[in-house]
A and B are shown apart, each in its own frame.
Chain A
Amino acid sequence: MSAVPKNTGNKKLGLKEKYGMMTRGLGWDTTYQAMDDVFPYDQFEGIKIHDWDKWEDPFRLTMDAYWKFQGEKEKKLYAIIDAFAQNNGQFNVTDARYINTLKLFLTGVSPLEYAAHRGYAHVGRSFRGVSARIASQMQAIDELRHAQTQVHTISHYNKFFNGLHDFRHMHDRVWYLSVPKSYFEDAQSAGPFEFITAISFSFEYVLTNLLFMPFMSGAAYNGDMATVTFGFSAQSDESRHMTLGLEVVKFMLEQDPGNKDIVQKWIDKWFWRGYRLLALVSMMMDYMLPKRVMSWQEAWETYFEKNGGALFEDLSRYGIRMPKYHEVASKEKSRLSHEVWATFYNFSHAAAFHTWVPEESELKWLSEKYPDTFDKHYRPRFEHWDALQKEGKRWSNPGLPMLCQLCQVPTIFTEPDDPTTTCLRETTYHGMKYHFCSDGCKDIFDNEPEKYVQSWLPVHQIFQGNCGGEGLDNVLKYYNLVPGQDNGEYMGSQDQMNWEQWTGRDHKDAPAA
């Protein structure tokens, strides 16, 4: 598609021509200042772009259309949020255990929408290609919209349930939330081409269905119509974002053969970082939804192995292969959620959401979905903890876990080929030893050690006294987490007791799936 189509003498421009004239048709090359000075960030990464005019705009929304449709989506969404509040929709969810997924979402995901807004605003200034700048600027607005609509939607639940009262503060401090926070800050502190590959392509194209489909389907299955509606409203923006991701990767690969190795390295890095981040979603799907949609394993098989397989098959014509360590993710699929939930069960006293042992019917579902691993490796733990709880000795791990220097998840994963052995890796850099959960994380560190030696690791910081001082009480105060209210075991919590009082329902009566 050429830069500015010639006027053919037709009365009305086609969509492609109209969009082209209103976007790149309004751009210019600066002359009072050198282009390289006006756009100082889009060359240092080594990505070579010879002709920005070759960019294909996948979606062609001019501002009038954009505001018209976004405005209509907003009106519909807020009408539903209002109706939900007016009808006390929060009492229609399956049971109050479900609300813990919203706590995880608001503290872990919503701040990432805001970070995306900042990131896209930055790259929206950084690319010298007009089309890429405009697509990024519009995405920056979309992401701010997502942050705001999520806050509005979930704020209603804050009136009834604990742990939702200070999400911004918690995102910046609480140990498990440094996983999503560091993920986005890694992207934001990269160059513009890496940022857009990381987020638009790896996150919003390759892996998005593993974040949004579970949360939003989970909401639908569990009676949370407010979140479903927000989710679908955001997803309609996401489809534009996804196509930006695919377009930018194809564009880089078509512009210069030298770009392929750089792009492949980013695809490898951001697949792995995104996959480790999704560990939180795996536990959400298998343990935190009273009515389960599908297992993490099933979601991984559908949305990555099948859909992702099709995508990479399409990209193979450019010389791009499947991301490094994708086979490790496949090996882990029958173990991931169990290992992560067990960890949060251990450290429940320090988390801003509740945990619990699954009911027998739920353990049965897990046995059926994971026939090769659950009964052998994980059920015994839950039965042990359940027995302790019945004796009044609910297990709480008094120590703190080792964190991976890269992904910042506790190093609780097991060897790809051996579920009985914790997977640990290390690297020495400038005389200091660094620890990792996996080869994937170690490789990323080894490639850019100067970046990751700066990681603010929550557990290290707690031990250094930088999180409120000595002892759990001070740390929880630093987190603005109210002990006995926001944290710990679900049974006997304020959420659980309120739920029974308000609805007369107890989750022990409900079927599993």
Chain B
Amino acid sequence: MNTPTPERTKTPVFIAFVTNDDTRNIVAAIREDNPQATVEEFPAMVKIESPGRLVVKRQSVSDLMGRDWDLQEIHLNLISLSGSINETEDEFELYWGQAA
């Protein structure tokens, strides 16, 4: 896990998805796991911003979706993002600052 240095905690990372039924669940999972994240809706697109760090957890999405969700399925709906990336089988993390 990467922890942004104190002065970096305010700089937002963001992730944006196509609006559809799958991302409805992904966004809900992100809200649960990232209490400081804010969600903005646009035509056909949803954008989530979070200060310093944002994590998408495979398990959280699977629980909400009602099936085993492969984290790499994120590619089907991803539109854009900002921040450095750390991808494992279980978590997709965006952050600013040094890697842990």
Contacts and interface: CB of A to CB of B under 8 A. Distances in A.
Interface residues of B, number: 28
Contact of B87 (A59, A72, A208): A59
A69 B87 contact: no
Contacts of B12: 310
B43 interface: yes
A158 B27 CA distance: 38
Interface string A446-458: 0000000000000
A369 interface: no
A217 B43 contact: yes
A475 to B, nearest CB: 40
- Most A CB contacts (10 A, CB to CB) among B42, B72, B96 go to B72
B78 A69 contact: no
A239 B79 contact: yes
A235 interface: yes
A84 interface: no
A236 B96 contact: no
B64 interface: no
Contacts of B73: 69
A88 B100 CA distance: 52
A236 B44 contact: no
Contacts of A59: 85, 87
Contact of B72 (A69, A212, A235, A311): A69
B96 A310 contact: yes
B38 interface: no
Given A69-B75, A236-B75, A58 B80 contact: no
A410 B32 CA distance: 52
A56 interface: yes
A122 interface: no
Contact of B76 (A69, A220, A228, A250): A69
Interface in B54-100: 72-73, 75-82, 84-85, 87-89, 96-99
Given A15-B89, A56-B99, A209 B44 contact: no
A238 interface: yes
Interface string A1-31: 0000000000000111000000000000000
Contacts of A76: 76
B82 A232 contact: no
A48 interface: no
A72 B85 contact: no
B78 A220 contact: no
Contacts of A221: 43
Taking each of B44, B89, B97, which has the highest tally of chain A beta carbons within 10 Å of its own beta carbon? B44
A69 B76 CA distance: 6
Interface residues of A, number: 37
Per DSSP, are chain A's interface residues mostly helix, strand or loop, or mixed? helix
Nearest to A233: B18
Given A69-B72, A69-B75, A314-B96, A239 B87 contact: no
Contacts of A250: 84
Contacts, number: 79
A65 B72 contact: yes
B34 interface: no
Nearest to B99: A56
Contacts of B85: 58-59, 243
Given A217-B42, A228-B44, A311 B75 contact: no
A15 B87 contact: yes
A246 interface: yes
B37 interface: no
A311 B82 contact: yes
A213 B16 CA distance: 11
A239 B43 contact: no
Interface string A306-325: 01001101100100000000
A60 interface: yes
A242 B81 contact: yes
Contacts of A209: 80
A242 B73 CA distance: 18
B72 A242 contact: no
Interface in A191-233: 208-209, 212-213, 217, 220-221, 228, 232
A156 interface: no
A422 to B, nearest CB: 36
11 contacts: A15-B88, A58-B84, A59-B85, A69-B72, A236-B78, A239-B81, A240-B75, A243-B85, A311-B82, A314-B8, A314-B11
Interface of B: 8, 11-12, 14, 18, 42-45, 72-73, 75-82, 84-85, 87-89, 96-99
Interface of A: 14-16, 56, 58-61, 65, 69, 72-73, 76, 208-209, 212-213, 217, 220-221, 228, 232, 235-236, 238-240, 242-243, 246, 250, 307, 310-311, 313-314, 317
> Considering the complex of A and B, which 10 residue pairs feature the smallest CB-CB distances, nearest first?
A220-B43, A235-B79, A58-B85, A236-B78, A15-B89, A310-B11, A69-B75, A232-B18, A314-B96, A239-B78
